[in-house]
Structure formats: C-alpha cells, structure tokens
Amino acid sequence: MFLIGLSANLQAQTSAKSDQKSSFKASLFNLEAVAGETFRYSATLHNTATESRYYALSAKLPPGWFAGFRTMGSPVTSVLLEAGKAQEVAIEVNAGPNSKPDKYAIPVTAVSAGDTLVLNLEAVLKGAYGITITTPSGRLSEDVTEGSVKEIVCTVKNTGTLLLTDVELTSQVPPQWQVTFEPAKIERIEPAGSAEVRATVRVPDKTIAGDYVSTFTAKSQNANSNASFRMTVKTSVWSGWFGILVILAAAGLVYRLINKYGRR
C-alpha cells in the first residue's frame, strides 16, 4: 500500500510539472525614453518542458524601428534552454528617426518546436531633444583687426520637441584670445523657440594677419551644438603706417651713412 501511494504521489507531481507552461516574463514591461535613446528591457525565458528546446527570438516593431537580443552580454537571435532551466534575456529596442511621440506596443516572441511564448512590451516615446547655434543671417565668418574687440550676435534654437533647460555657452579659441557671452547661460528654451546671445571676441595685440577658427558651443544636459567661426585677422592701419615709418627711417639712416663714409 505504501509503494502504491508513493507511486501515485510521484505520478501526480510529474503530471503537475508537465502541466506547467514555459514562460517569457519581464521585470518591467513599460519603459519611457526620448528619441535617440535605447529602450532596455530585462526578461527571463523559462523552459519547463522535460526536454531541451531552441527558442527563436523576434519582435514585431513599428516601421523604422529595430530590436536586438543579448544573453550574457553577447548578441543572439535564439536561445537553447535545457529542461527546467531559465535564461536572462536583455531586449534592446530603438525607435525610428521619424517616429512621433506616442505609446507603442512591442510584442516579443520566443518560438520553439513545442510552444510559442509572447511577451507584450510597451515603449513610450516622449519626443526628441535638439539644439543649434548659428547667427541670424547664418553667416559664420567675420573680419577682425588685431588688438580689437568684435561683437557677434548668435542665435540658439531649440530644434527638438522637448524643453531645453540650463543651456551653457562656451568657446574654443586661439591662444590668448578671449570670448565672453551675454548671457553665459540660458535658463530655458521652449520647443521651436530660440534665444539671442552676444559673443564678445577680444583679439590680442600683434596677432599675425590670417584666418583663425573659433568654435562656439551651446550645451544642455540632453543636447549640444557647435558652430565654427572663421575669423580673418587684418593688421590695423596704425600698424601699417608704423611699418612704413620704420622702413623710411632705415632707408634714411643708410643714405646718411653712405654720404658720411662714402666721401672718405
């Protein structure tokens, strides 16, 4: 009687295990991100069958989107699971460049010869960050004189669909040049909005005439933009006259020496 009861109990446990379905679950199925960021989901694939199974992974995506799968850090398209084993699967989804802000359903499937497992994910696309720095005319070149100060009016535009905050203005200029911005920080720029910034460029004395590049940068926590200005440095009028006077003085000195010593 004991053996019969034990046998019946084992059969019941085996039957209960065989009734359990394999599963494909995620710890978080709904994620938010902005355009250009990756939606990263962490899922677990569990094979409760009594034999090993290959699971092919795929995702049904909106047009222009793409997805990838990783296990133990390596890209995969399928997973081999032994009987009763589970495997962590990282799912990475990227929105298409022209996708509009919205909530998107992302069904992910793991298909084997014995079953088809579906994991229903959601991706909430919030919008996009974008910024540019330019001038009202679009011109990015200026003529400057050595030893002078030049003021350049810049326009910082929000080209995205999300608010920009704390936009900082910085520059990279040739050695000993100086640039100050007014204002140096913009607190906020609404989508499709813009702000005006005045850049004051100080060119050192005795700068050699020629073309120089100065880069202005507008940067927030989420976006940045650079504008390269070509600065053509010209010698001042006074410097030109001074050079002519030096030449004339040298010529006069030579003439005087020739007259003085040439007669002896």
DSSP 50: S
Question: Taking phi first (over 0 means left), then psi (-120 to 50 degrees means alpha), and beta for anything else, what does residue 85 get?
Answer: beta
Rounded to an integer, the average pLDDT of 43-55 is: 96
Rounded to an integer, the average pLDDT of 100-107 is: 95
Half-sphere exposure of residue 108: CA atoms within 13 angstroms, side-chain side:
28
Whether the CB-CB separation of 218 and 169 falls below 8 Å is answered with yes
Angle at 125 between CA 122 and CA 129, to 5 degrees: 155
Q: Mean of the per-residue pLDDT values for the chain?
A: 87
Q: What is the spatial distance between Cα 63 and Cα 57, in angstroms, rounded to a whole number? A: 19
Domain locations in the chain as residue ranges? 20-125, 131-236
- Output the CA–CA distances (angstroms, integers) from residue 212 to 122, 141, 209, in the order listed: 51, 10, 9
pLDDT at position 127, please?
87
Class (C level, CATH) for 131-236:
mainly beta
pLDDT at position 97, please?
82
Whether the CB-CB separation of 51 and 82 falls below 8 Å is answered with no
The CATH fold assigned to 20-125 is Immunoglobulin-like (2.60.40)
| pLDDT, tens digit (0-9, with 9 covering 90-100), for 216-251 | 999 999 999 999 999 999 886 545 545 555 566 666
pLDDT above 70 coverage of the chain, percent: 81
20-125 and 131-236 share one CATH topology? yes
pLDDT at position 255, please?
57
Rounded to an integer, the average pLDDT of 90-97 is: 94
Q: What is the pTM of this model?
A: 0.64
Rounded to an integer, the average pLDDT of 48-52 is: 94
